[in-house]
Amino acid sequence: MLFLLIANIASAISIKTGTEVNTSNQKISDNYYVAGGSVNLDGEYEKDVFIAGGDITISGQINGDLTVVGGETRINGKVLGDTRIIGGRAIISGEVFGDLFVTSGKIDLTGDAKITGESIFVTAEMNQSAKLENPVKILAGAIFLDGIIASTTDITTQKIVVGESAEISGDLRYYAPNKAVVADGSKISGTVSFNEIKTIRERGVVKSAILNLLSFWIIFKFLTTLILAFIAVYVFRIFTQNVTNLAVTSMVRSFFSGIGILIFIPIVSIILLVSLIALPIGFIFMLGYIFVLIIAPAMSGIIIGSLIFGIFEEGNKHQVTFGKATVGIVLLTALQFVPVIGEITKFIFTIVAVGAITRYTYGYVVR
């Protein structure tokens, strides 16, 4: 299954692995995938870059999107596309022109950093001295603002300090147990809205505090899933139709196949990754695994829509259409508001989608 998923893009990617990966004065025109204990990237990268490592430093220019999963990440260069960072610590001193999402134990945005797109930060501790030019959403244990924020800022935190060099020209809305400590010399030209959180047990207050952030994620996830479904239906129609047929005609088998994939592929990938010879294969397996998990929610919505409309249709009951997919995705999104039963139903259909994708792809490869 994974070989077919990678085959269509294999000719357009570059993969590099090792204990230490260093690139300098290079210009790479393909999508670039890197895995290593220590990764240092210089030069220019024309397309997307994906990095997995322990200690990561980016000093070059990335013209596409950047995705990083690592221990400590430092961005000293320039990223023209969107940036996504997941790790222990993130230090940004360069320029990010697209949207930025960072979830990390600690986040440092230095005074040299410039963030042009919309930003979302989820962290235990954050120090901000950078220039942020578009809407900012922050969920942090503690935050120190001492840079320029040129748009609306929404913050949920336990402690907030606004430094003397801070310049906030947009509206500042924050949820915290106490008012922000605002130093003399700071400049806030917008409206400051403080919403007190008295105790974490007052769920009504907590819900209102994070409602804006949750609403954003629900809408973002819904739209992303809808876009993936659109691509699946109109670009990969044959693949999508065959996967849907497998799912609805042998749902139990697809479910157990999906369970097997979720359990065994990560184990096999880790075994291959720790082996020097098979490390590239393990990396490809892991990429395929991640790819399947990304498209599974869209496929599960398509499957649900086909099942529902199949009850009322005659003839070719499970014909895949974008209208059916939209209905399925709407229902899938609504299920998250149904306690227990909704989550179980979402889980089952997602696993079925993973299993059906696996079965069809495997059958295609061995034919």
Along the 367 residues of the chain, how does pLDDT read in single tens digits?
444 444 444 444 565 555 677 777 778 888 888 877 788 888 899 988 888 777 889 999 999 999 888 788 999 999 999 999 888 889 999 999 999 999 888 999 998 898 888 889 988 899 999 888 788 889 888 999 998 888 888 898 888 999 998 888 878 888 888 888 988 888 888 788 888 876 544 445 455 555 555 566 777 788 888 888 888 888 888 899 999 999 988 999 999 999 988 888 888 877 777 666 677 777 788 888 888 888 899 999 999 988 888 777 666 667 888 888 888 888 888 887 777 888 888 899 999 999 999 888 888 777 6
Q: What is the pLDDT of residue 50?
A: 85
Q: What is the pLDDT of residue 132?
A: 80
Give the strands of the sheet with 95-96, arranged side by side.
27-28, 44-45, 61-62, 78-79, 95-96, 114-115, 131-132, 148-149, 167-168, 187-188
- Same domain flag for 176 and 307: no
Tell me if 71 sits within 8 A of 54, measured CB to CB: yes
- Same domain flag for 35 and 153: yes
Which of 61, 69, 126 has its CA nearest to residue 94?
Answer: 61
pLDDT tens per residue across span 45-88: 998 888 877 788 999 999 999 988 878 899 999 999 999 988 88
Domain range for 294: 210-366
In a domain, 196, yes or no: yes
Domain boundary, last residue among 202, 227, 245:
202
- Same domain flag for 216 and 198: no
- Same domain flag for 345 and 227: yes
In a domain, 1, yes or no: no
Q: What is the pLDDT of residue 14?
A: 61
In a domain, 4, yes or no: no
3-state SS of the chain is CHHHHHHHHHCCEEEEEEEEEEECCCEECCEEEEEEEEEEECCEECCCEEEEEEEEEECCEECCCEEEEEEEEEECCEECCCEEEEEEEEEECCEECCCEEEEEEEEEECCCCEECCCEEEEEEEEEECCEECCCEEEEEEEEEECCEECCCEEEEEEEEEECCCCEECCCEEEEECCCCEECCCCEECCCEEEEECCCCCCHHHHHHHHHHHHHHHHHHHHHHHHHHHHHHHHCCHHHHHHHHHHHHHCHHHHHHHHHHHHHHHHHHHHHHHCCCCCHHHHHHHHHHHHHHHHHHHHHHHHHHHHHHHHHHCCCCCCCCCHHHHHHHHHHHHHHHHCCCHHHHHHHHHHHHHHHHHHHHHHHHHHC
In a domain, 351, yes or no: yes
- Same domain flag for 197 and 224: no
Q: What is the pLDDT of residue 210?
A: 56
- Same domain flag for 254 and 198: no
Written as six digits, the tokens of 227 are: 């876009």
Tell me the HSE value of 209 on the side-chain side, using a 13 A CA sphere. Answer: 24
Amino acid at 287: L
In a domain, 136, yes or no: yes
Domain boundary, last residue among 167, 202, 237:
202
- Same domain flag for 225 and 100: no
Tell me if 116 sits within 8 A of 135, measured CB to CB: no
Which of 184, 190, 194 has its CA nearest to residue 168?
Answer: 190
- Same domain flag for 250 and 266: yes
